[in-house]
Amino acid sequence: MERDAVDFPVSVVLPAAGSGERTGLSTPKQFCTFLNRPLISFTIETFERIPWIERIVVVVAKDSYDPMLHIIQQFHHAKVKVVEGGTTRHRSIFSGLQAFSESSNGPVLPRPKVVIIHDAVRPFVDEEFLLKITLAAKEHGASGAIRPLVSTVIATTSEGFLDHSLERTKYRASEMPQGFLYEVIYQAYQRCSEFDFEFGTECLHLALQYSGINAKLIEGPPTLWKVTYKRDLAAAESIIKESLSLSACLISGAMAETVELSSRLQRNLESHHMTTGVNLFETEEMLKVFVETKHALLYPVVIVWVHVCMSDSAIDEELNAVMELSMKVKQENILLYGVQIIFSKVPELWERSVTRLTEITESLIRDRNPVLIGQMLRV
Amino acid sequence: MERDAVDFPVSVVLPAAGSGERTGLSTPKQFCTFLNRPLISFTIETFERIPWIERIVVVVAKDSYDPMLHIIQQFHHAKVKVVEGGTTRHRSIFSGLQAFSESSNGPVLPRPKVVIIHDAVRPFVDEEFLLKITLAAKEHGASGAIRPLVSTVIATTSEGFLDHSLERTKYRASEMPQGFLYEVIYQAYQRCSEFDFEFGTECLHLALQYSGINAKLIEGPPTLWKVTYKRDLAAAESIIKESLSLSACLISGAMAETVELSSRLQRNLESHHMTTGVNLFETEEMLKVFVETKHALLYPVVIVWVHVCMSDSAIDEELNAVMELSMKVKQENILLYGVQIIFSKVPELWERSVTRLTEITESLIRDRNPVLIGQMLRV
């Protein structure tokens, strides 16, 4: 990646004042939570991780101003300024742009060379694509993401009949992010009409009409999609969960089998952290490390405590200890689960148990189900 | 619903020969499984449930012909005929239409007055909307579902710059289902060119060009969306799981508290089936009823066996019995889970336990996680 090519200031405007009526939910989509964190915080995190992005202006509705400040604080977002938006998308974007020029919301932010405009409800944009958009905006004055059309687009008559269908290959869906030389888009908004503010949908169109700039269009990946309908919340959750790997298996039991089990599990569950010979009472100390290093600030950490036993005799002491400890660390965004595995000298039986343990552990890590914390599952 | 208005024969053509490359998966989307059942079977079920729909012609690629016959058999689909498709969507639809007119695949099906063309990967269409499409097709010769555009549509120059953006309000996305008088669409396909067969995307366009029929366009609900990308699989799974209610809680324990618990759970978990005083060994008999009545043929049935105990003493016997029984009924598409709840005379503690039990039971019913069957969870 040619990150070094960005030797000029870049900032972001993130309109988030929409009411999200298309999901049919009472909470606007950008504030729906996934793993205890609002969607907008995931989008902000995406931009904050990129070193060449300086500031992120989040534009929210009046009622969301204080809740948004709270989110910024809770998840330690350091690059964000929150401003109040207008009644339409274009008015909100203009409010965001004004934060770099004129201000009734405190000090003016340093003016960027290029400003990226994105949506709060598109959390999965990656650095590589943002780089393309940014460099194209610098070169051509404006740039925008496009995607192939999923459906045929048709024109309708006023009586609701088919007039004609468009040739799919000539058209594209205009998506976000878009990039602009700050002066180009700021000028466009200063000059545009009330009608544009009220009914316009496309910043690229304003740049063309009021600043004479034909935007460079760049085909983006399918992950640019916008969380629009209720079903998209499930899709977003599954993508977020798939991207997570913060989890650890702690394996207890004094036997040689514990070590062997650990290396088996390590192979089966790539990229997860294994520790052996940890009794439950030492586990608590380890959990503190996760909390102190802020590993659990943005994403819940999963800990699976695996207990190897010699028989299926009751382990009431461990049962209660796991439950208690899990309740305690839940506050710290750590999800603790227990699994009891009974050792067998018969290789086939042991093999089957290890397979079951892998399946259960994978499922616990993937689902991150808070309702099941503290349970002691059996293999 | 004016079902009675359909006093003429209606059949369906379901093209399912696509390779589904946009999901990035090796299995075409229509054959991806949800709760052990391929997506296409859900779509077929939707049409089979509608009494005024006579036949469903499913058009598949050559390689999928035998697997498709197997699916029909396994899930007892009674209205379906499978035919082999062509290399493009239009060729496949024409193959489907030919099943009503000329046949190299066995006997010709009775010709419908109206034929509905749908996608195998749009399982969530409802009867009410199909009725609208059917009646409009009968009246106007052709009809199709439309949806508002989610993104602005733009025209690009050959160098990849913005040419112009379309005014969103004048255009719509063309979706499925579409309906046609059989003679209208069959004639259109008989007359259309090789170019249409190869590159065309829109049946409505063919009906206009070759049969002179302007289709009536009807705005459909968002559930008409098409499973296109990998993320859509997660969305589809969540919609399918939300629609399920086949589940039962069996509550065991000889105390008066069992009855009280049952009525509490019944209130908390609306529309689920509760039975009290069932010991685990009687449970097996009840499970047989689900199997015999074919309740578990299309959707897995969830059984949560709740055991009320007086103390947290070990219940090894039940633990093992639940695990064994769960393995046995898994083959029958029944997911059995155990929950042990310890009775407390302290009202606050009991209250908290019942809340936890509700949460755990809801989560087990909603997630239908096959990996956790046979576990005895603790409240």
What are B197-223's pLDDT values in tens digits?
Answer: 998 878 999 999 999 999 999 999 999
In angstroms, the separation between the Cα of residue B348 and the nearest Cα of chain A is: 18
Q: What is the mean pLDDT of chain B?
A: 90
Q: Does A204 touch chain B (CB under 8 A)?
A: yes
Size of chain A in residues: 379
Say yes or no to pLDDT of A299 above 90: no
Contact (CB, 8 A) for A11 and A54: yes
User: In this complex, is the C-beta atom of A124 within 8 Å of any C-beta atom belonging to chain B?
Assistant: no
Closest-CA distance of chain A to residue B102, Å: 30
pLDDT of residue A1: 57
Q: What is the pLDDT of residue B5?
A: 85
Sequential DSSP letters for A101-118: T--SSSSPPPPPSEEEE-
- The whole-number average pLDDT for the span A252-262 is 75
Closest CB to B234: pick one of A149, A164, A238: A238
How do residues A205-248 score in pLDDT, each as one tens digit?
A: 999 999 999 999 999 999 999 998 889 999 999 999 888 866 77
Tell whether the model's pLDDT for residue A30 goes beyond 90: yes
Task: Write out pLDDT tens, residues B288-304.
Answer: 887 787 778 888 888 89
Predicted local confidence at residue A37, as pLDDT? 94
Q: How many C-beta neighbours within 10 Å does residue A137 have?
A: 29
The one-character DSSP state at B221 is: P
Residue B72 above 60 pLDDT?
Answer: yes
Which pLDDT tens digit goes with each residue over A153-209?
999 999 999 999 998 888 999 999 999 999 999 999 999 999 999 988 789 999 999
pLDDT at A279 over 80: no
Residue B42: the pLDDT is 96
In this prediction, residue A290 has a pLDDT band, given cuts at 50, 70 and 90, of confident
- Identity of the residue in A160, A372, A375 whose CB atom sits nearest the CB atom of B216: A160
**CB-based contact (8 Å) between B166 and chain A?**
yes
pLDDT band at A111 (very low <50, low <70, confident <90, very high): very high
Question: At residue B53, does pLDDT exceed 90?
Answer: yes
pLDDT of residue B254: 62
> Which of A21-30, B265-274, B291-300 shows the highest mean pLDDT?
B291-300
> Using the beta-carbon criterion (under 8 Å), do A154 and B363 form an inter-chain contact?
no
pLDDT tens, position by position, A120-142: 999 999 999 999 999 999 999 99
Model confidence band, residue A22 (pLDDT cutoffs 50, 70, 90): low
Residue length of chain B: 379
**What is the pLDDT at residue A140?**
98
Domains contained in chain A, CATH given: 3-231 (3.90.550.10), 244-378 (3.40.50)
The predicted pLDDT at position A286 comes to 80
Identity of the residue in A168, A174, A378 whose CB atom sits nearest the CB atom of B165: A174
Report which of residues B232 and A242 the model is more confident about.
Answer: B232
Residue B133 pLDDT: 98
Q: What's the whole-number mean pLDDT along residues A7-27?
A: 84
Q: What is the pLDDT of residue A105?
A: 62
What average pLDDT score do residues A57-68 get? 96
B308-357 per-position pLDDT tens digit: 888 766 677 788 889 999 999 998 899 999 999 998 899 999 999 999 99
Q: Which residues of chain B lie closer than 8 angstroms to A168, CB-CB?
A: 201
CA dihedral B197, B200, B203, B207 (to 10 degrees): -80
Task: Give residue A244's pLDDT.
Answer: 80
What are the residue ranges of helices labelled H in chain B? 39-48, 65-74, 89-98, 127-140, 182-191, 194-199, 203-211, 230-243, 256-268, 280-292, 316-330, 347-367
Return all residues near B167 (Cβ < 8 A) that are at least 6 apart. none
Which of the listed ranges A147-151, B16-20, B103-107 does the model predict with the highest average pLDDT?
A147-151
Question: ipTM of the assembly?
Answer: 0.87
**Residue A232 sits at the chain B interface (C-beta within 8 Å):** yes
Residues 6+ apart with CB under 8 A from B22: A222, B228, B229
Q: What is the pLDDT of residue B283?
A: 81
CB atoms within 10 A of CB A102: 9
Burial (CB count within 10 angstroms: exposed 0-12, middle 13-18, buried 19+), residue B328: middle
* Chain B: closest CA distance from residue A322 (Å): 12
pLDDT at B24: 66
CB neighbourhood size of B255 (10 A): 13
Which pLDDT does position A156 carry in this prediction?
Answer: 92
Q: Please, which residues 39-58 of chain B have a Cβ atom closer than 8 Å to chain A?
A: none
Tens digit of pLDDT for each residue in B129-143?
Answer: 999 999 999 999 999
Question: Residue B116: its pLDDT value, please?
Answer: 98
Number of neighbouring beta carbons within 10 Å of residue A100: 21
Q: How far apart are CA A196 and CA A270, in angstroms?
A: 52
B369 closest CB neighbour out of A142, A205, A363: A363
Does residue A289 carry a pLDDT above 70?
yes
Tell me the sheet residues that pair with B207: none
Question: How far is A373 from A360, CA to CA, in rounded Å?
Answer: 13
What confidence score (pLDDT) does residue B1 get? Answer: 56
A301-327: burial string, b at 16+ Cβ within 10 Å, e else = bbbbbbbbbeeeeebeebbebbbebbe
Kindly state the average pLDDT of the residues A308-316. 75
Residue B313 pLDDT:
66
Peptide bond between residue B177 and the one before it cis (omega within 30 degrees of 0)? yes
pLDDT category, B22, cuts 50, 70, 90?
low
Half-sphere exposure (Cβ direction) of B375: Cα atoms closer than 13 Å: 25
Q: What is the rounded average pLDDT of the residues B347-376?
A: 93
The pLDDT value given to residue B61? 95
Is the pLDDT score of B43 beyond 60?
A: yes
Q: At what angle do helices B39-48 and B65-74 cross, to 10 degrees?
A: 60
Q: What count of Cα atoms within 13 Å lies in the side-chain half-sphere of residue A303? A: 33
Q: What is the largest CA-CA distance in chain B?
A: 80
**Of residues A15 and A255, which shows the higher confidence score?**
A15
Tell me whether residues A162 and B319 touch, CB distance under 8 A: no
Q: For residue B3, what are the CA distances in angstroms to B80, B124, B131?
A: 21, 19, 7
